[in-house]
């Protein structure tokens, strides 16, 4: 985490606060950067390895939302039908 490494005098907690992230996240990123020669490997949520992976994630969300809407409609139909 470049910001922390450039502002060590502030301490990890203050740097995390300045960035609006948790101390735990800041510590994790700093440790990852130290272990990977200054680079933080990013493969968390929202970070996709390709455009195809991003599209697959979008389609999965869309499918889940559609399935949720279908379940709601089924329940409403059964309630109104009785």
Q: Are residues 33 and 64 in the same domain?
A: no
Q: φ, ψ for residue 55 (rounded to 5)?
A: -65, -40
Q: How many structural domains does the chain have?
A: 2
Same domain, 32 and 64: no
**Domain boundaries, position 18:** 1-41
**Do both 7 and 27 map to the same domain?**
yes
Q: What percent of the chain has pLDDT over 90?
A: 20
Q: What is the pTM of this model?
A: 0.43
What integer pLDDT is reported at residue 67 of this predicted model?
Answer: 94
Residues 12 and 27 in one domain: yes
Q: Are residues 35 and 61 in the same domain?
A: no
Least confident segment among 8-12, 24-28, 34-38: 34-38
Residues whose CB is less than 8 angstroms from the CB of residue 28 and which lie 6 or more positions away in sequence, other chains included: none
Residue 37 and residue 5 share a domain: yes
Say whether pLDDT at 20 is over 70: yes
Rounded Cα gap, residues 60 and 3, in angstroms: 35
Instruction: Read off the pLDDT of each residue in 6-23 and give the average, rounded to a whole number.
Output: 84
Over the stretch 38-71, which tens digit does the pLDDT of each residue have? Answer: 776 665 556 667 888 888 888 999 999 999 999 9
């Amino acid at each position: 985490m470049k910001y922390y490494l450039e502002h060590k005098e502030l301490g990890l907690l203050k740097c995390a606060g300045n960035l609006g992230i948790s101390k735990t996240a800041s510590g994790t990123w700093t440790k990852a950067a130290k272990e990977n020669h200054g680079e933080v490997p990013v493969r968390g949520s929202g970070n996709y390895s390709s455009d195809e992976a991003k599209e697959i994630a979008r389609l999965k969300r869309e499918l889940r939302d559609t399935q949720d809407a279908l379940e709601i409609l089924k329940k409403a139909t059964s309630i109104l039908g009785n």
